[in-house]
Structure 1
Amino acid sequence: MFTTWSVRARLTAAAGVAALLLNLLIATLVTPLVYLLLADYVSEQVAATSRRVAFTVERYAADDLLKPVAPVEDIDLIQVLDNKNEVRQASPKLVGKPPLTTVRPTGEDGRVDTTTCVPAMPGCLITVGFRVAVGDEYWMSYAFAPTVPWYIDVKYIAGMVGGALVLAGVTAWISSRGLRRALEPVSAIQNELAEITSTDLGRRVPRASHRDEFDSLAQTINATLDRLEATVEQQRRFASDASHDLRSPITAMRAQVEEAMLHPDDTDWEQTSRALMASIERLQALATDLLALARLESGTPGKQDRLDLGELVATELDRRTPGKTLVRSLEPGVFVVGDRLRLARLLTNLVDNAQRHAVSRIDVSVRTEDGCAVLEVVDDGAGIEAEQREIVFRRFTRLDASRNVDAGGTGLGLPIAREIAKAHGGSLTIEDSARGARFVLRLPMA
């Protein structure tokens, strides 16, 4: 049943039960103290009554023998015994009854404190007696009162339990109101989140009025919505760009096939085949790059081998066909941990990009710097403006200069290179250089 209760209901019930148990515990601990105080009070009342009766007997007993003694201070059990233990005076309730006790003091103070239990009286009685000098004899004045029960009184128990219940109820009520106000930000967040859809990701949940845990929750949710909105926007842009880039070669292929079908006798099939093959190669390149990006973004782990970055770069550069001048500056012993194929793909993408834009020379270097392995690829081309250095890492982004140099590029080489760098815990940036573009890869040292 409790599993279906709200947080507010569970906490309110817990607060009420805790308050009830605490109040009952306090009542249980306080009751013995109250008992002792009340017992002492009754004993003092009995002693005061017995002392007053002793004073009266000492002065007037000779003239008022056998006269009933009036109750004193609500103590209505009084007896006066002579030296023969005969009752000489008694309160109305004890008139005609035998002595309840004959205990006499043994000390010099003349006082007796005891408890009397006789069949004629219900329960035991607190008893205080004083020795009284009457002529040549010594009489005793006794006062009696019922002992205080351990539970003190039924009304006391009822009052304590009722008070505990009332205090527990007040605590639960205050807790419920406090929790309702405290949980209002959660309700506001819940309502706002329920209304946010994939087409309305610009909305944000309200922050709490106090800088507390709920406000931190709202900030975290808003930050998550920011990332979600950015991701969705990136996916939309990616889908739009991908559909555009995929549609272009498909459209060209369709046009070439339709033209050949309309004029089969006048068609140069060899030339048409070459054109179709170029479009197919572009589609294949796009599909390959999209698959590589999908694997990188899905977090598919690559191999974790200890690699000499300089040796890897040298091997990959040796495999390239001769083109523009490649100048190497490879420091040995620069070890990193990563996937050889992915790092080779990163290097290939950077060198291919430099190959398209360089005038005559490409510089490739490997070194250590500030505890990192650094790979640089620098070309002597026109370079990239500072405000466009991050734009080129967007998918399908190709600057005008790139389109003029190589219209067949996919626009995914540099984004793939950066994703590979991130997958290896590194970074890929474009930094200032005297001429051309300077791509700098930084990876953690092994």
Structure 2
Amino acid sequence: MTAKSNRPSGARRKVVRPIGFFSSLKVELSVLIVIATLIVFVMAWILQKIGWSGWMAMPLTLIVALGITYLFSHGLTAPLRQLRDAANAMADGDYTVRVHMGTDSNDEIGQLTRAFNDMAEELQHADQMRLDMIANVSHELRTPVSALQAMVENMADGVVEPTPANLEGLLNQTHRLSDLIAFLLDLSRMEAGAASLNIEEFDFRDFLDETIEPLEIADAGHAHEILLRVDDTIRMEGDQDRLRQLFTNIIANALKHSADGTTVLVEAHEDDTDGMVVTNVVNFGSQIPEAERAVIFRRFVKGKTGPGTESGGTGLGLSIARWAAQLHGGTVRVVDDRRGADFEIRLPKRHETKPARS
């Protein structure tokens, strides 16, 4: 970003707008013309009454009219000038700039300044997310690459023997790299707005069993129990690879934020009212404040494992889960549940021809 000296000077000084409470700029300009005309007419009448000739009264009335018009028009155009300066500052990379004049008016200029500030807020957030992504990806790549390099160098130097345990450590680090690359590929697909889907019909209970099994193996050291309650008769259509991303990320998130030795519940049923398959993944004990329920699905937002402590990972898991659900015309959200944090996944049994876009 550039230095904040690019911020427009109008942001620091107050400019009074004589007319700004009308809902239309056309009305304000019409009022300006009427006021100027009335003042010129009254002045000309008074000057004639006191004996001034028309050649003397005309220049004076024109000067007064121009002065009044300039005064009023300056207040009308001041926000536009600040918008210009702010746009130039943003073009130089300063996304912290904001327009302060005209935001309290009801006309088109006020609407424009408020829309500009909203856009600047989004651009600043996007730029911060870009910087965070670079930092996160660099960190996530550096850790497994450094571990791989050190282990391979030790094996090449004969310091460490290529035992099955050491080779398994190398394999685990390559898996971490593969997962990160998969996350980045999914992010690029999210940016594109859609992805190709391989739609097929499948048994939902078997699908969840196959999805949960590797999570249980990976979680062996934490002694979590995944309790599955699903109707055996549920069959649905969808892309199993994309849906496996969805359920793996949601269930893995629940396991990550559960104390060791606790239970995570996965229950599913059919909603006959709208033909949806509803799955709830419940992390017993913990709760997610309502103010954070929408934020956690934003990209690169990491949850808290404790006071002031961020969880590991890339912060993409939940956003990818929501994207996969939207591709199938479904939704993912956090719902109220006294038992704990409850992620509700709603997916149509029958896949629509045109999937929802992210």
Give TM class, smaller chain. Answer: 0.5 to 0.7
CA distance in structure 2 between the aligned counterparts of 1:272 and 1:434, rounded to whole angstroms: 45
- Report if aligned partners of 1:297, 1:419 keep a CA contact under 8 Å in 2: no
- Report if aligned partners of 1:185, 1:214 keep a CA contact under 8 Å in 2: yes
The reply to whether residue 350 of structure 1 matches residue 250 of structure 2 is yes
Superposition RMSD in Å: 4.2
Q: Secondary structure at the match of 1:397?
A: coil
Find the counterpart in structure 1 of residue 289 from structure 2.
386
The alignment's TM-score, normalised by the length of structure 1, stands at: 0.49
CA distance in structure 1 between the aligned counterparts of 2:278 and 2:266, rounded to whole angstroms: 10
**Selected match of 2:229 from 297, 317, 327:** 327
Find the counterpart in structure 1 of residue 84 from structure 2.
190
Cα pair distance change 1:274/1:237, threshold 3 Å: same
Report the CA distance between 1:219 and its aligned residue.
1.1
Find the counterpart in structure 2 of residue 83 from structure 1.
none
The reply to whether residue 240 of structure 1 matches residue 142 of structure 2 is no
Give the number of equivalent residue pairs.
265
CA distance in structure 2 between the aligned counterparts of 1:334 and 1:204, rounded to whole angstroms: 49
The reply to whether residue 226 of structure 1 matches residue 121 of structure 2 is yes
The reply to whether residue 368 of structure 1 matches residue 271 of structure 2 is yes
**Selected match of 2:97 from 203, 208, 213:** 203
CA distance in structure 1 between the aligned counterparts of 2:272 and 2:289, rounded to whole angstroms: 23
The alignment's TM-score, normalised by the length of structure 2, stands at: 0.59
- Higher mean Cα deviation, 428-437 or 219-228? 428-437
Find the counterpart in structure 2 of residue 438 from structure 1.
342
CA distance in structure 1 between the aligned counterparts of 2:212 and 2:129, rounded to whole angstroms: 36
Cα pair distance change 1:259/1:418, threshold 3 Å: same
Q: Secondary structure at the match of 2:138?
A: helix
After superposition, residues 304-343 of structure 1 pair within 5 angstroms as: 313-320=204-211, 322=213, 323=216, 324-329=226-231, 341-343=241-243
CA distance in structure 2 between the aligned counterparts of 1:431 and 1:350, rounded to whole angstroms: 14
CA distance in structure 1 between the aligned counterparts of 2:107 and 2:272, rounded to whole angstroms: 43
Cα pair distance change 1:372/1:243, threshold 3 Å: farther
What's the CA shift string for 1:72-120, capped at 9, x where partnerless?
Answer: xxxxxxxxxxxxxxxxxxxxxxxxxxxxxxxxxxxxxxxxxxxxxxxxx
Report the CA distance between 1:340 and its aligned residue.
5.4
- Report if aligned partners of 1:418, 1:428 keep a CA contact under 8 Å in 2: yes
Report the CA distance between 1:436 and its aligned residue.
4.7
- Report if aligned partners of 1:189, 1:206 keep a CA contact under 8 Å in 2: no
- % identical aligned pairs: 25
CA distance in structure 1 between the aligned counterparts of 2:151 and 2:284, rounded to whole angstroms: 35
**Unmatched tracts of structure 2, length 5 or more:** 1-61, 217-225, 353-358
Find the counterpart in structure 2 of residue 41 from structure 1.
none
CA distance in structure 1 between the aligned counterparts of 2:315 and 2:74, rounded to whole angstroms: 55
- Report if aligned partners of 1:346, 1:417 keep a CA contact under 8 Å in 2: yes
**Selected match of 2:161 from 258, 265, 268:** 268
CA distance in structure 2 between the aligned counterparts of 1:199 and 1:369, rounded to whole angstroms: 52
Find the counterpart in structure 1 of residue 221 from structure 2.
none
- Report if aligned partners of 1:366, 1:376 keep a CA contact under 8 Å in 2: yes
Q: Secondary structure at the match of 1:200?
A: coil
CA distance in structure 1 between the aligned counterparts of 2:272 and 2:132, rounded to whole angstroms: 37
Report the CA distance between 1:238 and its aligned residue.
2.0
